[in-house]
Amino acid sequence: MQFTLIARDDTTAGTLEKRLAAREKHMERIHAMKAEGTIIDGGALLNDDGKMIGSIVLCEFPDRAALQAYIDSEIYHVDGVWKDIEVLPFRRVQWR
């Protein structure tokens, strides 16, 4: 099943610094999961000033429980960067 995660960062002071400190680990894992096909695509949400304020992740997991296991182990979630996470099922367009 395919999902869209819209993960908004916490707005308290110091969150951007936590995000930047965890970014390398986050990106290593995202690249590995993309190579295995679990992560389809994604990127940072930006405010009008270009500051990172969250993430969007397009992903594919067998079910919602497997997705939740990913979220629970995601460093941005564990380290308190992501505060509000919205999960929306989606269906990827099959290009010819």
The total of structural domains in the chain comes to 1
**pLDDT tens digits along 70-91:** 999 999 999 999 999 999 999 9
pTM summary value? 0.90
**pLDDT tens digits along 11-45:** 999 999 999 999 999 999 999 999 999 999 999 99
The domain containing residue 32 runs over which residues?
2-90
Whether residue 80 lies inside any domain: the answer is yes
Q: Which DSSP string corresponds to 23-48? A: HHHHHHHHHHHHHHTSEEEEEEEE-T
Whether residue 96 lies inside any domain: the answer is no
Distance of alpha carbon 5 from alpha carbon 56, whole angstroms: 5
